[in-house]
Structure formats: structure tokens, C-alpha cells
Copies of this chain bind each other. A is one copy, B any other.
Amino acid sequence: MDKRSIADTRGRSQPRVKIEDVAREANVSPATVSRVLNHPEIVRPELRDKVMRHIANLSYTPDSAARALKSGRMRTIGAIVPTLALGIFAEGVEALQNRLSESGYTLFIANSQYNQRRELQEMQNLIERGIDGIVLVGGSHGRELRALVEQTGVPVITTYVSKAGGGIPAIGIDNERATREITEFLLSLGHVRFGAIANISPSNDRSRARLDGIQRALAEAGIRLQPTQVIRADYSLAQGRSALRQLLTDHPDTTAVICTTDTLAIGAMSEARKMGLSVPQALSITGFDDVELSSQVDPPLTTISIPAAEIGRGAADYLINAIAGRPVPKSVLLPYRLVMRSSTDSPRTAKRLPRRPR
């Protein structure tokens, strides 16, 4: 007993006020208090007000564990994003969170670090904790994860893509069409010698689709990218730099570089400057995502703007409806926007590579 009282010193100070306490205080049954909290409309107004006053007085908050145990609902949804470091996800997540909290839901965020195993693990965590719905990013998710979704029946939606495998609904843009469009734009400016910098990885189907779009548009124009004209990179500035350097080493006559990410494009642009190539006169460069920085760099970057906030809101609405058992769309395709800024122009062969005359 002595031991216990010592331990108490650092334990929860207050003994926690329970529904029973406010019931006693308000002279009603616990059932009534519960009803005031969950179905206010079915309890007589005066009584309801009285109970509410006592709830406030004792500053009672229901124990969510008990509540979740009994009701099976957690009023919580989870989002698993590949990384927190990217502005584009941050914007979507913040919109998601705002919309959810309007509906009384709380958002928990986990990150997978672009790793499918981690993603699965976080998913299991979330499900074990009784999450009501889950937001994923991208369409490639491994068989186990899809099985888990299937088995547990938790509503799931994936974002930033227009379709996903395994019957998981999606909300996002058509990545392939977007890069097709940006490529066609460059073609229309007169470019014929292209390079691509893409951050391809097994778990990143967005970049994969973007690269496909580039290649498809070029193919339609009768141009085929050779393997050395497609440089792989992760999503850092430094990789953008080295990718550009490598590309120009192998193909010094390149006039247009299409990147699957703004970060890569910005890295490439600063490397181009360092190499003495002016953008866009000597080299046109494009990005994807339209992060804040892209409009601020010099020259401002031509890129694709993604409706991240709408994606977040749409995902929230989808899950709220799905949880409530209301009908939901199978997938939602949102429009992207090609933002033409100053990092692209017609190729001017006269000015090519001033310091490599050959």
C-alpha cells in the first residue's frame, strides 16, 4: 500500500470522472447521459440542458476506449503518406484534416518512407487500433495490404492517382495524361531532343505513370527515348543535379528535360546554370507538382499543378460517406493544370553549349 501511494505521486492526478459521476450529479441514469452525448435529439430539451451543464461542470470526457469497445466506432481515420517532407502531401493532408474535423473525425498520420513493408505495418497498427477508414497515397500497394483491406472491410481510398489496383477506389489526377500534355507542349515548341529524369521506385506508381506519359507522347511524335536518355533518381535536389549532369554527358545536344518532380527539376536547373547553360534559352526544363518554390526560382518553373487540397477534401468526403454506409463513387478524376512559366522556350540551336564549341 505504501508502494502504491508513492507511485500515485507520478500517476494520473485526478481519478477520472466517469459517466456515472455526471449521472449521479444530474440525478439521471448513465443511459441518459450517454444519450445526451450520442443522440441528443431523443432526450427532452430541459433534461438535456441540465445534463450538459453537469458534463461541462465536471469537465467530463468520455473514455474513448470504452466507447470504441462498445460502439465499434473510433471516429478516427488514418492517413499513410510516403513522406512528410514533401509540401505536396502536406497540403493534401492539411485539407483532409480540416474536412474531417468538421465532421467530428480525428486524423492520425503515419508515414511509410516510400517502403511497402512499412506501409503494411502502419496499416496493421491503424487497423488494430480500430481506425474507421484509411487514406493511402498512390496505387501500388502489395498483395498483403490488399488482402488486409479485403479481409477487414475497412474503407480505404487511395489518392493522387486516378486508379488503383485491387479494387481500391482512388481520387486524384491522371498522371500519365499530364506528362503527355507537358511533353506535347514541348514538342509544339519545336523540341526534338529530349531527356527525362524520373524518380522511379517499385512503390511509386505516380512517377511510373508520368514517365509512361512522356514516352507515349514522344512515341506518337515518332521519337523514341533511349535508355540513356531516361535518368533515374530519388526525389532530392542533389539527385536532380547529378541526373542532369549525367544526361548531358551522354547527350550533350539535349534541348528539353522533363522531370517527374519539381524538386528534381529545380535541382536540374541549378546544375544547368552551374554548367553555364541558360534556362530556357539553351535548355528547357519542366517539373511536376507545382510546389511553392517552383514559382520562386529563377526562372520560374513550367510544371503541372495538382489540386492537392481538393484531393484531401475528396478523400475525407469519400470516407465519411463510406463509413456511414452511403453510396460512394468508385473513383474520382480531378483536373490538373499545366502551368506555363519561364523555364521553357523554343530551342535555339545557335546558342547551344557556348563553352563546348567542338
* Contact B296–A267 (Cβ < 8 Å): yes
Render A239-263 as a binary contact track against B, CB cut-off 8 A, 1 for contact: 0010000000000000000000000
A111 to B251, CA, bound (A): 45
A280 to B174, CA, bound (A): 44
CB distance from A222 to the nearest CB of B (A): 37
A78 to B180, CA, bound (A): 42
A310 on the B face (CB < 8 A): no
A128 on the B face (CB < 8 A): yes
A298 on the B face (CB < 8 A): yes
Please name the residue on chain B nearest to A148 by beta carbon: B59
* Contact B293–A237 (Cβ < 8 Å): yes
* Contact B325–A10 (Cβ < 8 Å): yes
Render A2-41 as a binary contact track against B, CB cut-off 8 A, 1 for contact: 0000010011111000000000000000000000000000
Please name the residue on chain B nearest to A92 by beta carbon: B84
Render A46-89 as a binary contact track against B, CB cut-off 8 A, 1 for contact: 00000000000000011111101100001010000001110101
A350 to B110, CA, bound (A): 54
* Contact B106–A109 (Cβ < 8 Å): no
Q: Which of these, B68, B109, B293, B296, contacts A65 with CB under 8 Å?
A: B68
A152 on the B face (CB < 8 A): yes
* Contact A297–B325 (Cβ < 8 Å): no
Using A14-B152, A270-B297, A325-B7 as known contacts, say yes or no to A66 and B69 having CB atoms under 8 A apart. yes
CB distance from A329 to the nearest CB of B (A): 15
Render A251-294 as a binary contact track against B, CB cut-off 8 A, 1 for contact: 00000000000000001001001100000000000000000110
A107 on the B face (CB < 8 A): yes
Residues of B within 8 A of A106 (CB): 110, 122, 125, 129
* Contact B129–A113 (Cβ < 8 Å): no
* Contact B110–A108 (Cβ < 8 Å): yes
Main secondary structure of the interface of A (DSSP, over half): helix
Residues of B within 8 A of A168 (CB): none
Q: Which of these, B84, B89, B292, contacts A93 with CB under 8 Å?
A: B84
Please name the residue on chain B nearest to A84 by beta carbon: B90
A236 on the B face (CB < 8 A): yes
* Contact A90–B94 (Cβ < 8 Å): no
A353 on the B face (CB < 8 A): no
Residues of B within 8 A of A66 (CB): 65, 69
A26 to B92, CA, bound (A): 47
* Contact B325–A298 (Cβ < 8 Å): no
A64 to B61, CA, bound (A): 19
Q: Which of these, B7, B13, B14, B94, contacts A84 with CB under 8 Å?
A: B94
A270 to B267, CA, bound (A): 16
CB distance from A18 to the nearest CB of B (A): 12
14 contacts between A and B (CB under 8 A): A10-B153, A12-B152, A13-B153, A61-B128, A63-B69, A64-B128, A65-B68, A83-B90, A84-B84, A84-B89, A106-B122, A108-B110, A241-B296, A293-B293
Which A positions have Cβ atoms within 8 angstroms of B? 7, 10-14, 61-66, 68-69, 74, 76, 83-85, 87, 89-91, 93-94, 97, 101, 106-111, 113, 121-122, 124-125, 127-130, 150-153, 236-238, 241, 267, 270, 273-274, 292-293, 296-298, 325
5 A-B pairs closest in CB distance: A65-B68, A84-B90, A108-B108, A85-B90, A109-B109
